[in-house]
Structure 1
Amino acid sequence: MKFSFRQLEVFLAAAHHQNITKAAESLAMSQSAASSALKELESQFNIQLFDRVGKRLQLNELGRLYRPKVESLLAQSGELENAFSKHTEVGELKVGATLTIGNYLAVGVMARYMNTPTRPRVALEVANTRTIAKRVSDFELDIGLIEGELQSSELDVIPWRGDELVVFCSPDHPLAAVKELSDDDLRRATWIMREQGSGTRQTFERGMHGLLPDLNILLELEHTEAIKRAVEANLGIGCLSRVCLADAFRRKSLVPLGVPAHRLFDRTFYFILHKQKYRSAGIDRWIELCEQLEDPPQLEPG
């Protein structure tokens, strides 16, 4: 074999940090050793993987072509090393999730994934769909769990489970006694909403087509718990995933509201994986545990 795994590690670190000094630090190497390893890799095959701009290293077309292959090879190598040393096929996992999934579903899956004799670690990053997709594309996350629609030539977008948004209010709100809201009720209501650009807001706006210019939106908040507290305080009504509201509905601190049948708030949660990412046993186990999650109970409005 003409190349070493260390040379490949230096290549990936340089691609990530775009600087050989930072790449060396991340690998606990000297700058000269990392630089030599990268130069040897290129010279052995008479290729150039980076464009050098001052101290910055930027992947060229050839480097971008080989990066996924190197990622896959080192991932398989790492899994084999883990199996040899720990006698297990399920290892450390880096997971990204959007807000609703990360706060209300992923933590439970993490607990089950880590509850094995070898205690494999899971690093969970919670961010918006765009950020999670980029991190998966750059091989910085093993798998993403998203609630927004996504088109990408680099990623496999795999349907996971259905979800729906629910309009809700405080049990003391005047609309709590209304069996089904009309469009006029929706126009007159005061709303507490997720921020623009969130997956939840996108689904809400799709379901409220034709009414958006007339809606009275009092607050736009980034966190679902803040929205729930504001609605409990009777500042307005809200619209969030049923996953976020299941506990509050059981406690009856919030109540679901019926909306006109043509107002559709259904959506899909997805797994996202890089198309060239090695599908490890850990990834398969994570997906299996996610698919075992139970749906929240369906409650009648009013």
Structure 2
Amino acid sequence: MHFTLRQLQVFLATAKLENITRAAESLAMSQSAASSALKELETQYDIQLFDRAGKRLKLNELGRVLRPKAEALLAQAQEMDVALTQHRQPGTLKVGATLTIGNYLAVGLMAKYMENEPSAKVELEVANTQRIVDQVLHFELDLGLIEGELTHSDLEVVEWMNDDLVIFTSPNHPSASDQPLTDEQLSKLPWIVRETGSGTRQGFERAMHGLLSDIDVVLELQHTEAIKRAVEAGLGVGCLSEITLRDAFSRKDLIQLHAPHRSWSRKFYWILHKNKYRSAGVERWLEICTHYASQYNANLGQRP
């Protein structure tokens, strides 16, 4: 074996940052040392991994092919290092979650994970579906928990949990007395919805198929709580996950509207890069997610 793990670290940092100076800084190396490591890697195998345009380095076709292999190899090396120095205690786990999952489910999952792995660390990134997918694709996250449906040749996408979207409004809004809602009534409501790129928006548009050209979207907001506050203020009607609305319904700050002739059910998913090495921490996290989902889905099926 002619390459070193340090050379692979430089290669991956440069692939991510597209600049050798910033790559060196991220690895606490001098620029000359990082440049030498990358040059030696390419020279040893008589290859070129980047297309150079000034100070910017862009992965070429060979670099893109080798990147996931290098990511997997370094992940295994890091796990070996943890196993040797900390008796197989898992290292830092980087998890991405979309807003509904991140704000309402992920903290409980983190607590369970850290209860089982007291020395473990979890970094949680909360963003919309498109952002989480991009970060998993670029190996910036170990795994993602998302609301939106997708297919991608580089991703493993697995159904995780059942969820229901709910239409809701203020008790004082004129629509509060209209039950159930017809398509004509749905098309005339002032809607307050999540932004394009979010899983909740995708689910809403699927449920409203055939009416999208007629509906009136008065506000697009990036945060669940902002939508709830706007609806409470009487600005319109919203559509969010039932998980996010339980407390507001119990307090009667908001009320549910019904359109049973349309499908509001959807799935949550977890995603992994197909070339991502599954560390002990990733496997343990997925076990916890699977157990949680089985309990939640069973309880969902028992609701009246």
Could you tell me the TM-score, scaled by structure 2's length?
0.90
Query: C-alpha separation between the residues in 1 aligned to 2:139 and 2:286?
Result: 18
**Structural mapping, 1:80-119, within 5 Å:** 80-116=80-116, 118-119=118-119
- Distance change (3 Å), C-alpha of 1:215 and 1:60: closer
Deviates more, 1:115-124 or 1:66-75: 115-124
Query: 1:207 aligns to what?
Result: 207
- Please give the alpha-carbon distance, in whole angstroms, between the structure 1 residues aligned to 2:200 and 2:118: 37
Deviates more, 1:214-223 or 1:3-12: 214-223
Letter in 2 for 1:41: L
Aligned to 2:277: 278
Structure 1 stretches lacking a partner, 5+ long: none
* Distance in structure 1 (CA, Å) of the matches to 2:209 and 2:16: 42
Identity of aligned residues (%): 62
Letter in structure 1 aligned against 2:269: Y
Matching residue of 2:183? 183
Measured in 2, the distance between the counterparts of 1:162 and 1:149 equals 13
Structure 1 counterpart of 2:153? 153
Deviations 1:176-211 (A, max 9, x none): 455422223323433222223422122212212233
Q: CA RMSD in A?
A: 2.1
Greater shift after overlay, 152-161 or 179-188? Answer: 179-188
Structure-1 residue corresponding to 2:40: 40
Matched residue SS, 1:212 = coil
- The equivalent of 1:22 in structure 2 is 22
Q: Which moved more, 1:113-122 or 1:72-81?
A: 113-122
Alignment correspondent of 2:225: 225
TM-score normalised to the size of structure 1? 0.91
Q: Does 1:69 align with 2:69?
A: yes
Deviation at 1:66, TM superposition (A): 1.1
Residues 182 and 260 in structure 1, CA contact (< 8 A), matched pair in contact too: no
Query: 1:140 & 1:215 partners in 2: Cα distance?
Result: 37
1:195–1:117 Cα change, 3 Å: closer
More displaced 10-residue stretch of structure 1: 252-261 or 74-83:
252-261
- The one-letter amino acid of 1:292's match is H
Paired letter, 1:196: T
- Are 1:72 and 1:278, in contact at CA under 8 Å, matched by a contact in 2? yes
| Pair 1:4–1:213, CA change in 2 (3 A) | closer
Which structure 2 segments of 5+ residues have no match?
none
Cα contact 2:18–2:57 (8 A) shared by 1: yes
For residues 233 and 266 of structure 1, what CA distance do their matches in structure 2 show? 27
Counterpart-to-counterpart distance in 2, 1:214 and 1:10: 53
The corresponding residue for 1:245 is 245
**What is residue 288 of structure 2 aligned with on the other side?**
289
Q: CA deviation digits over 1:256-286, x for unaligned, max 9?
A: 222132x112221111111110011111111
Letter in 2 for 1:122: V
Count of residues paired in the alignment: 299
Amino acid of the residue matched to residue 73 of structure 1?
L
The answer as to whether partners of 2:89 and 2:120 remain within 8 angstroms in 1 is no
Deviations 1:44-77 (A, max 9, x none): 2222222222222222221111111111011011
Match of 1:90, SS?
coil
Question: Helix, strand or coil: the match of 1:268?
Answer: strand
Give the partner amino acid of 2:98. Answer: T
1:183·1:260 contact (CA, 8 Å) conserved in 2? no
| Other structure's SS at 2:209 match | coil
